[in-house]
Structure 1
Amino acid sequence: MNNHYSDLKNIFIDGEVFDYINLNKSTTMYNKLVNALDKPLKLILFYGKPGTGKTFLLQKIHNDLKQKKRVIFFPRPFFEEKIFIKALYENIFDEASPDFSNYNDFLVLLEKHITSPQQAIPVLIDEAQLYPRELIEKIRLMADSRLLKFLFTVHKTEQEDVLAKDYFQTRIWETIEIDTASEDEIKIYIEKKLLFHNCFGYLNLFNAKHYKLIAKLTGGNLRSINKLMYKLFEILEYYDEHNPSLVKANALHVKYLEMAGISLGLIHA
């Protein structure tokens, strides 16, 4: 049986496409990226820890800019040069690609349509850390042609600082890093999610103590916040159906957040 906690739970389903929540951090990053794409830069590096909202921003930038000019977004990695070139051609010309023997043949054709560096086509590449080194090198050479400009988006992890990889570091003209969400931004994120879905009546469920715990458990990682909130409302959904006297509609006992954290392995009981 569906109840109101089922609807709240579904707001935080973590999938490929998320509601874009306009945090101050997101706005700053958005403006930095758009400004960088407007500059005559060949290669831009956008990086941060997984779950910081990088893909959200790329999707929004792509959706906004494509209304004004040609811009390409590759959300998933390529592993072969020919397939990458084929995808570039088909996104640029909206037709089936001929069989190019190498990237130089593609650039010769593209040069006939792009006559100045100001017309260089932006290409947004997500998950660039998964691309083979050889293909990254070919992309760098394509950027040297000034016919295309590339924005690499990569994960920065605890085990490996992506900036230490020389094949990202060399020839990068600008680097932009996105941080995890602060406690205040977590509060704004959750409140805006609820407001966006017209769940005004549930804004008072959370107080400063809840947000402090959410920040501690998730480290400000948006993906982890979504998972924690989904699990929280799943637990409340269960109690509301089987023992509703234990759940108050206008207050949230911190134990339910702790239960969600334990279930996700964020708390070791």
Structure 2
Amino acid sequence: MNLNDLKEFLDEKVLLYNAPAFIVDDPIQIPHLYTLKEDIEIAGYLSATIAWGNRKMIIKNAKRMMELMGNSPYDFVMEHKQDHLDNLDSFVHRTFNGVDFATFIKGLKHIYTNHNGLESVFANTSAPMQERISNFKRLFFEIEHPTRSEKHISDPMKGSAAKRINMYLRWMVRNDNNGVDLGIWNTISTADLSCPLDVHSGNVARKLGILKRKQNDAKALAELDNVLRQMDPIDPVKYDFALFGLGAIEKF
């Protein structure tokens, strides 16, 4: 299959999966619960942070996170007291526990208080997006924190594909009027985004011959990005819908 044929095939899959029905079984439904920009940002970020494993469990636990914050994420982040953080102790999603949850609340408050919010951290530079993600991690953990929590933010500059943050950025930046991605950040171009590379998108990309590298790491992401940008230099990350849908839903 040549690149033009492949583009036509994947474009059809994008149209199929980049539709409101996608939201029902995807953690992107969590930030869709809110209307305030900061609530959307924080709900999306925390949901994306725990987005590995079974999708039903991700959604269940992300909803639990919101409940523990009184369904007002921004107010909770900015106004919390220690006893509020103590109430998070019971939370667990795989290796992300209550200690990590409390640390992330503190980290988010630091970002909003000292770095003008989540959007600003990613937008306030002309560096490649994967470098911006690495810088975000550095800023996030300027607070005092347990070392264990650092593993829950990937660093592309240390070889990670950073699937969850790249997915989060897709949620926040893309606005194609299809009702799936929220598109509330207009200071970042979709051209700067990278595909959230996971087991589904990686396996499909290899079967289609657009990814050769066997590991799902930063080098594989760069390889995949190169091909996706040839197919659509303005919105390459839209192909995440096609690759994920083919893998997770169609078992391609």
What TM-score results when the alignment is normalised by the length of structure 1?
Answer: 0.29
RCO greater where, 1 or 2, for CA within 8 Å and sep 6 or more?
1
Query: What is the TM-score normalised by the length of structure 2?
Result: 0.30
Name which one, 1 or 2, has greater alpha-carbon Rg: 1
Identify, as 1 or 2, the structure richer in helix: 2
Higher strand share: 1
